[in-house]
Amino acid sequence: MTSTAAPPASRRTADGRELIAMLAMATALTALGIDLMLPGFDEIRSDLGLAEGATAVTGLVTAYFVGLGVGTVFYGPLADHKGRRWTMRLGLAVYVAGALIATVAPTLPLLLLARFVWGMGAAGPRVVALAVVRDRFEGDAMSRTMSSLMAVFLLVPILAPTLGAALLEVAPWRWLFALCAASALAVALWTRRLPETLAPAHRIPDLRFHRVQTAARLVVSNRTTVAYSLATVALYGVFASYLGSAEAIVDQVLDRADRFPLIFGALAGGMGVAAVVNGRIVSRFGTRSMVRGSLTAYVAMTAVLLALALATDGRPGLWAFLAVMAPLLASHAQLLPNLNTLAMHPMASVAGTASSVIGAAQLTIGAVLGGVLDQLFDGTILPLAIGFVLAAAATVAAVTFGGRGREVVAAPAEPAV
């Protein structure tokens, strides 16, 4: 069902499919900032004087995720105070600045700092997009829209590594970062048509600490929101590790470095198809039923992945690895939009702040967990397999906890503060 709380879009602003496409492209910038550069790791190592195969470059992914997590804390309250459109543009401006600094950074420490700033910028579009979706939709309609965003979002891992590899044939790796900056500028121009969806009744009058604190308390005191948010934290953590170690696994474990864009893109393509399927059938089965089905498949495939790792001393063949990872990541792609929907559903009155709190937990804790798993990489898939199993167990526990409580919708933020 479509929410009636938000003001309607005017003829001069985007609505319907254009709005969803705009939000999807804005959030896809987050993935672009990671996936476009993955084929350039070897050149980055060489240019910065690092040893061949050095894992220090995975810090470029970790720093970006930490920036995402830190930035997410600030954009939600801003979006509830200044509005969705203003906050979206601020995030895009910081994104461009971080990408341009990274383009000219002469050393690894400065490059890591630029990646942190870049991640802080990427947090803006991500937070605002989730808040706009909550403004406009609820229930299964929100799950469908979330799935549409994820499907477009996952086109980036399919296309970006191949595009990055092609660009590296004719230009230095720094041009990858410049292309990200140009893409963000293009989206910023498009967001001139972004409608302001924040309802006046839900606007936080100012950013005094006690007002923001009260809104945040509504989020962290809601059992449903907390439980499903913790589930997404576990999933984001292991997925961050997968992103950070994918290049090393394809190179050192599967011995297919030259096929990395194809392998990575094929797995992402499976995730995209799964997200599209989820969006088409969630209304028939319901969001909670979809979570139960996807989680059952996820748990089963993580167990199979661990068994495969143990049976092959952590070095399976290419096709065996793909046969397990494809359905595993497909289940992952179906779980995330549905879990996010369940977490956000009670938070209509503080959607921006809720998006910040949930996103900060997902990305900050997820980045730390992913970084720990990255450092455990030993030339096999065993650490990643164990990480997936632990994430599945944590998700089952969180979903079970959330399902036992009675859902309570948060009261409007303004009267509460």
pLDDT digit string, tens, across residues 311-368: 999 999 999 999 999 999 999 988 988 898 888 887 766 777 777 777 777 777 776 7
pLDDT digit string, tens, across residues 6-24: 455 555 766 778 888 899 8
According to the model, what pLDDT value does residue 74 have? 85
According to the model, what pLDDT value does residue 408 have? 47
According to the model, what pLDDT value does residue 417 have? 36
DSSP string, 31-97: HHHHHTTGGGHHHHHHHTTPPTT-GGGGHHHHHHHHHHHHHHHHHHHHHHHT-HHHHHHHHHHHHHH
**Distance (Å, whole) CA 198 – CA 202:** 7
Query: What are the angstrom distances between the C-alpha of 35 and each of 5, 94, 180, 258?
Result: 37, 19, 10, 16
The full set of domain ranges for the chain reads: 17-196+206-416
Phi-psi region of 255 (alpha: psi -120 to 50; beta: other; left: phi over 0): left
CATH of 17-196+206-416, one of 3.40.50.300, 3.20.20.70, 1.20.1250.20, 1.10.10.10: 1.20.1250.20
According to the model, what pLDDT value does residue 53 have? 66
What is the reported pTM? 0.70
| Regions of the chain short of the pLDDT cut 70 | 1-11, 13-14, 53-55, 154, 157-158, 206-212, 215, 348-349, 367, 404-417
Report CA Rg, the chain.
20
According to the model, what pLDDT value does residue 1 have? 40
